[in-house]
A and B are shown apart, each in its own frame.
Chain A
Amino acid sequence: MSTTATAKTPYGFSVNISRKASGETFIHKVANYMWLPMLAMGVMVLAGTFIVGIFQADLASGTFPGSDAGDRANLETLKVLQPGIIFVGVALLLSGISFLLASVLGAIRWAGGEMQEKHAGEVQTPRMPWTAWAFLGLMMMGMMLEFASLGFHIYAAVQAHDYYIKGVPPAADATHLLGRAQTVLAYAAPLRMVGIGFLLAGIVAALYTIGNVLRFQFDRVTEIILGPTAPTGYGS
């Protein structure tokens, strides 16, 4: 594509004007390839935690009442660790959805360009709007926060293990280990929800972008049929 001009539009983004249709951007191509691995990894992580959950339940049935400190320590470690891993799985699934939405945006861009090249003299291609950048930023931030939260969960799990391994009942002078685990979890639990919040906000930004691009495409088709003075139905 050789851009000959750039024009502003009322849809929240500028357009490049050229003779030839532009293909998908690098981000769209990445999204085409990444949505399936992300979904697959999300499903695998969740299936893994489900299996570990069965093992955990089996451990619990043997641990109470009595049993040895090692089993109790393993049980408490898994209990602390599992929510962190589950939320990483959910984050991977939401990232898969995000990549799919980016892929939809790529398909709209590609098909819109092809249609304009065949039926109009010039091709108007939307430039990446700020909402699409926000979508990318939110998605990456969300994933990073989920992994940070997993790090906190791992640290808390180590502290819980060190506490419960000290005997049945655990030694009184080791209470600070349990306290440290609970304190770290107090940070980690809302942090993992903030991560999910970022991913959901990213999806909202992607949907808003799709809505705007569709408005542009419908108006462009109307313009091609009626000419440049065509009225639009959106009132903007």
Chain B
Amino acid sequence: MSVFTQFAHRVTDDRVITTTRASGYTLAQYMGIYLWLPMLLMGAIAVFTGFGLGIAQGAIGADLFETFDAGDKADFETLGALSAGFVVLGIGFLLSSISFALARIAGVFRVGGGQVQAAAGNEVRILAMPWTAWAFLMLMMMGFMTVIAGFIVHVIAASEIHDAWTGATSLSEPGNASDLGLANTLTTWAGPVARFGVGMLFTGIAFMLATIIHILRFQANRITQLATERRRSG
């Protein structure tokens, strides 16, 4: 057997747990049950905060472009950076909420599948956590941490932007060019970093969907197996 085939078998072969009664949720599934709602709420709060900051920025902008004021310009630019940070943080929370809701569904399959097998009077076979589920966990945690890192960089950049534009002499002449340079460098980093985090969260969701398909296939096979055993014995 080739190395590739061996690897493929190692990856795709199911590890099955056999018990006499239905099992409960795993820790990750418990987290899914309890955390999807807080994540959803925090996501909504962050996105609406970003939107509120955008409205404030627009209101300042309306005055700023009629009569120039250095303070207004500093606030306008600062709010822009903060608003971008908050909305991307909100999207990170919302994607985490989707991830937790999917983990909850995987838990329902685990408990429900075991429960039906036990009711049918057979030994209970449950799929051990496949590698796609581990990948999902890793990607979700790393993705979320990356999004938070991106948000923190946005906040630091916003502070630098405020310092840079305080004392500005016109719409295009900052008060402190070196601070503006630092802020631009930070925002150049923060955007892609946060988007990379969002990308990891999306990839994690894809792995969780692959896990659910895996579970569904396993359960369909198990039902066929039970029906065949019953026909043979009866």
A residues in contact (CB < 8 Å) with B? 175-176, 178-180, 182-184, 186-187, 189-191, 193-194, 196-197, 200-201, 203-204, 207-208, 210-211, 214-215, 217-219, 221-222, 225-226, 230, 232-234
- The one of A190, A201, A225, A232 in contact with B43, judged by C-beta atoms closer than 8 angstroms, is A201
Closest Cβ neighbor of B47 among chain A residues: A197
Q: Judging by beta carbons under 8 Å apart, are B50 and A190 in contact?
A: yes
Could you list 13 further interchain pairs (A-B, Cβ under 8 angstroms) beyond the known A194-B87, A204-B40? Answer: A175-B171, A179-B61, A182-B61, A183-B58, A189-B83, A190-B87, A191-B51, A191-B54, A197-B87, A214-B112, A218-B112, A221-B116, A233-B112
Closest to B21 in A: A233
B78 on the A face (CB < 8 A): no
> Which residues of A lie under 8 Å from residue B115 when comparing CB positions?
218-219, 222, 232-233
The A-contacting residues of B in range 108-141, CB under 8 angstroms, are: 108-109, 111-116, 119-120
Question: Among residues 50 to 108 in chain B, which have CB atoms less than 8 Å away from a CB atom of chain A?
Answer: 50-51, 53-55, 57-58, 61-62, 64-66, 76, 79-80, 83-84, 87-88, 90-91, 94-95, 97-98, 101-102, 104-105, 108
Which residues on the A side are within 8 Å of B54 (C-beta)?
A: 186-187, 189-191
Contact of B66 among A179, A182, A204 (CB under 8 A): A179
Contact across chains for A179 and B43 when beta carbons are under 8 A apart = no
Shortest CB-to-CB span from B168 to chain A, Å, is: 15
Q: Which A residues are CB-close (under 8 A) to B196?
A: none
A190 near B51: Cβ-Cβ < 8 Å: yes
State the CA gap A136–B119 with chains docked (Å). 36
Residues of A within 8 Å of B109, CB to CB, are 214
Secondary structure type dominating chain B contacts: helix
Chain A residue nearest in CB terms to B121: A225
Residue numbers in B under 8 Å from A175 (CB-CB): 65, 171
- CA of A161 to CA of B44 in the docked complex: distance in angstroms? 35
Q: Is B48 an interface residue (CB 8 A)?
A: yes
Find out whether the CB atom of B80 lies under 8 angstroms from the CB atom of A197: no
> Is B84 within 8 A of A189, CB to CB?
yes
**Interchain CB contact (< 8 A) of A208 among B22, B47, B91, B101:** B101
Q: A190-B53, A230-B119, A233-B22 are in contact. Are A183 and B105 (CB under 8 A)?
A: no
Are the C-beta atoms of A197 and B90 separated by less than 8 Å?
Answer: yes
Cβ–Cβ contact B62 & A201, under 8 A: no
Interface: B36 (CB within 8 A): yes
* The 10 nearest A-B residue pairs measured at CB: A179-B65, A218-B112, A190-B54, A207-B101, A183-B61, A193-B87, A197-B47, A186-B58, A200-B94, A233-B115
The answer on a CB contact under 8 Å between A193 and B47 is yes
B116 near A183 (CB under 8 angstroms)? no
Cβ–Cβ < 8 Å partners of B105 in chain A: 207, 210-211, 214
Is A222 touching B119 in the complex (CB atoms < 8 A)? yes
Assuming the contacts A179-B61, A233-B114, asked whether A215 and B108 have C-beta atoms less than 8 A apart, the reply is yes
With a CB–CB cut-off of 8 A, which chain B residues contact A190?
47, 50-51, 53-55, 83, 87
20 A-B pairs with C-beta separation under 8 A: A175-B65, A175-B171, A178-B65, A179-B65, A180-B65, A183-B58, A186-B76, A190-B47, A190-B50, A190-B87, A191-B51, A194-B48, A196-B91, A208-B104, A211-B104, A214-B112, A218-B112, A222-B116, A233-B115, A234-B112
Known: A179-B64, A183-B61, A193-B47. A204 touches B98 (CB 8 A): yes
A204 to B44, CA, bound (A): 12
Q: Closest residue of chain B to A178, judged by CB?
A: B65
Complex Cα–Cα for A189 and B102 (A): 29
Complex contacts, A186 vs chain B, CB 8 Å: 54, 57-58, 61, 76, 79-80, 83
| CA A178 to CA B61, docked complex, whole Å | 11
| A183 to B76 alpha-carbon distance, docked (Å) | 9
